[in-house]
Structure 1
């Protein structure tokens, strides 16, 4: 899988990961968890590593922790989770619970979810990074209405990561946030690369354009992921899935070439949504 640099450290990340919202919020039954174990197996086998989760994703953190422990694959994972609560003490308690559920002594990326009380959590996050309890610090949001506030936060502090929404039919971040991240050396995780799922559903009944083969795409999902990854400011895309066949499809967007400027323009103009 292709790799991209994390600007703040010089380390690298594989360009396709997996999100766990809804998809990993399951019970303990083997038939519920077996497909998710296969999703992670496919991700790692393809060279991917990023697993994004959150306390707000129901049972997802605990499921991820159990699956990694059972397969002994924690070392292959880049674990990203979030703090999503008001108050410093509450934030500490929530992050400690996340570490326990994920069965790890160190979180690779701790993100302030939806910017909630970020100023209050930042001193704790900085201290935990210095102590080695977290490797990287970030902030997230998933709505265009929050982009103005997100821009101010990215300008205010030297964050390692930002997670934001970006898709072929949701390109607002191209105007300011992606250039700002590149300018300030902030790695970018992209959520909702399929337009929250709506874009992919709209395209599913249409034949794949012949020019998709120019960039090695054999599905709409790969084409939409490669659109996002064509932007050099993007570090990793994290489409959510709990289905092995979808994960197998998604990781193919992590290899080969990406659209050039001419092809990107064609994609925008020809793919009516």
Structure 2
């Protein structure tokens, strides 16, 4: 595989080999892992309703964090991010053609992972037209260096009526395992709801955060009713949520639910909703990945604890 910046695949893998200590228990990941205090227990899973397959409840979003050049210093952190995800028992990695180099970097790094990566690969089709959609998805297979993608999603519902028949055919053929739709804004909820009612789907990826709870009213109950797994994107809202909370003391009960930071608590708030299957906080930082994964351990929140957190941001 050639690269537009002049890197050949061999050169890229040579570079990656120089930073792949994280795939062989590098110290950065070891330090980050110890900070979560999970005691080495396995991350919790939730069943995907359409198959009953267990899915670890904290995954990784690659928007921005994985859209970096192999020549950038930030690229050297990415093997450790993946190592932190897998070390804690997470598997879902969510990409999109919209995310620049994210698919390509994910595919390259997983190709050198030893032992074989347990990744649950999710990506998206994000274009108009049947043939254009097929071409884009074929490129995703090439960039991710896989012959099977676990979850193919129609990004932001773009031309969903055109793409859905292709996805169903590929699912029947075994090229993809699950089908889903995505969106990230409340203005699309009416259309999302209509598609969920009209079409049998395996997954919905949607925005949900402690300070962005619009999906609780209709979307999440509908997903539960229809047997659709829910992936939460934008789990920290627009980014200002953690900034607003960081100087506040954690609730006294935080340690009882295995939480040591506001990001963990913000994620655990989402995971405490019975309709949520997985959260995918995005990061290119291995310490943050390990911290985020910590939300997948320990008890979930009670209704009283959830209401207390809501009161903090209202």
Q: TM-score, normalised by structure 2?
A: 0.85
Give secondary structure in 2 for the equivalent of 1:79. strand
Structure 1, unmatched stretches of 5+, are none
Which of residues 236, 241, 249 is equivalent to 2:278?
Answer: 236
TM-aligned CA deviation for residue 81 of structure 1: 0.2
Once the two structures are superposed, what CA deviation does each residue of 1:121-162 show, in whole Å capped at 9, x if it has no partner? 011101100111000000000001100110000111000000
Counterpart in the other structure of 2:171: 129
Counterpart in the other structure of 2:245: 203
Counterpart in the other structure of 1:86: 128
Counterpart in the other structure of 1:3: 45
CA 1:73 to 1:31, structure 2 compared with 1: closer, same or farther past 3 Å?
Answer: farther
Once the two structures are superposed, what CA deviation does each residue of 1:172-227 show, in whole Å capped at 9, x if it has no partner? 00000000000000000000111121101221222222222231110000100000
Question: Aligned partners of 2:115 and 2:292: how far apart in 1?
Answer: 20
Counterpart in the other structure of 1:255: 297
TM-aligned CA deviation for residue 248 of structure 1: 1.1
Which of residues 202, 207, 219 is equivalent to 1:165?
Answer: 207
Give secondary structure in 2 for the equivalent of 1:137. strand
Counterpart in the other structure of 2:145: 103
The count of corresponding residues between Structure 1 and Structure 2 is 272
Q: TM-score, normalised by structure 1?
A: 0.97
Give secondary structure in 2 for the equivalent of 1:213. helix
Counterpart in the other structure of 1:49: 91
1:185 maps to 2:227: yes
TM-aligned CA deviation for residue 84 of structure 1: 0.4
Counterpart in the other structure of 2:12: none
CA contact (8 A) 2:152 2:179 kept: yes
Give secondary structure in 2 for the equivalent of 1:231. coil
Question: Aligned partners of 1:70 and 1:30: how far apart in 2?
Answer: 19
Counterpart in the other structure of 2:25: none
Question: Aligned partners of 1:182 and 1:73: how far apart in 2?
Answer: 36
Which of residues 191, 196, 200 is equivalent to 1:154?
Answer: 196
TM-aligned CA deviation for residue 72 of structure 1: 4.2
Give secondary structure in 2 for the equivalent of 1:56. helix
- Higher gyration radius (CA): 2
CA 1:144 to 1:184, structure 2 compared with 1: closer, same or farther past 3 Å?
Answer: same
